[in-house]
Structure 1
């Protein structure tokens, strides 16, 4: 006969920091205070596209020349060490705990932003992968992130609205001009989509040139969406 294992009411399983292996202070966040403080948090940035800048409240030259179709980008982190390693492990090594940690950091950032007056969207829209790439990888990281965010944010996910019917080459490693050409006719909306007056938020992992977000946001705005925001884990700095 097996007897139950009794533990004190205060007992909790020890949670380790995913970055240093030390004890994490919070049972629901696998990150210690020291590693949390040392993450490449996004400080000064463009008020529209979140490009890292020397100070807050500025608008980058590109957004001044031409306003993007999305209204603003919300992201907590710069794309640098160790965030780049966590994103790589999540996307290319199927390391769900790394992705979950990054999702929790984005969740924390968004909840704070909502508390500061950021307007909550009507739906979360994950950026789709092509069918071939999703089959090869086994999942769509943006869809996982949107699913993790949905409950805590109180915003439903629509996984079918934006589709990617064409198998275009991966954006990684391409310059800005090639990225734009690569995305021509890459995305489509589901038949009968009614977006009139909706506020939508695109969810993706990393924003680099913003070409993908711009292409989808333009498609959504032309279909009647009132506003499109972008929620992502990290923002890359401007190329040297």
Structure 2
């Protein structure tokens, strides 16, 4: 492009433009701002529970909790374990408003989900982000789950129904609570948008991290009670142990 008459050389050559990896800073030619070595070293989730994605020693098994008390959601899909550097990237995205890091993780999650769809996973009718408490939304300025759902919606061609769920109570932070306290904490904390029609619909909840699954269980139960035929959970990472803070 020769936009400066007195300069005889090209100012910008788009075909030679390279972006830098957001993790190591090296240049990369990949579609996302992450180099191949850094992407391969992410804590990819291996063998896991076929329902809640809890890491397990072998594939194709259910964890004890899902076997004894099947949850209201059908399946959790998460590409990574909540470990370095994904845990740091998620924290910086949520609490420091580092949107490029969240966008990168969202694009990689979209690729992972598309692979599952190509392998036969049933595609949901809509993506439903987990709503954020009003006080926390004011403090943070954005809902990370809603951003992830928007970033997934385009590449996957799945509508995002951002206002289907709302948080009716500002419950205490979940991180310091055990599983039983979390379930009690979430009772009556969520509600559906008035006149929402969910009959026979397949919905996918979107969040950043799954810990005990208490939030996913509460929301999936609400959606199933309202007529949803199936509820899945899409998130970035799964904690290695139930109750581990995220």
TM range (shorter): over 0.9
1:58 aligns with 2:54: no
Query: If the length of structure 1 is used for normalisation, what is the TM-score?
Result: 0.95
Alpha-carbon distance between aligned partners in 1 of 2:98 and 2:131, rounded to the nearest angstrom: 19
Which residue in 1 is equivalent to 2:15?
10
1:123 aligns with 2:108: no
- Aligned Cα RMSD in Å? 1.3
Q: Equivalent residue of 1:203, what SS?
A: strand
Structure 2: gaps of 5 or more residues: none
How many residues of Structure 1 are paired with residues of Structure 2 in the alignment? 237
Choose the corresponding residue for 2:111, options 99, 108, 111. Answer: 108
8 Å CA contact 1:40–1:78 kept in 2: the answer is yes
Alpha-carbon distance between aligned partners in 2 of 1:25 and 1:172, rounded to the nearest angstrom: 38
1:173 Cα deviation after fit: 2.4
Q: Equivalent residue of 1:231, what SS?
A: strand
Query: If the length of structure 2 is used for normalisation, what is the TM-score?
Result: 0.93
Structure 1: gaps of 5 or more residues: none
1:161 aligns with 2:164: yes
Choose the corresponding residue for 1:24, options 22, 28, 31. Answer: 28
Alpha-carbon distance between aligned partners in 2 of 1:225 and 1:7, rounded to the nearest angstrom: 52
1:77 aligns with 2:112: no
Runs of 4+ in structure 1 deviating by more than 3 angstroms, as ranges, are: 4-9
Choose the corresponding residue for 1:187, options 185, 190, 193. Answer: 190
1:131 Cα deviation after fit: 1.1
8 Å CA contact 1:25–1:33 kept in 2: the answer is no
Which residue in 2 is equivalent to 1:140?
143
Alpha-carbon distance between aligned partners in 1 of 2:70 and 2:210, rounded to the nearest angstrom: 16
Alpha-carbon distance between aligned partners in 2 of 1:83 and 1:176, rounded to the nearest angstrom: 23
Q: Which moved more, 1:86-95 or 1:2-11?
A: 2-11
1:6 Cα deviation after fit: 4.5
Which residue in 1 is equivalent to 2:212?
209
Alpha-carbon distance between aligned partners in 2 of 1:234 and 1:86, rounded to the nearest angstrom: 11
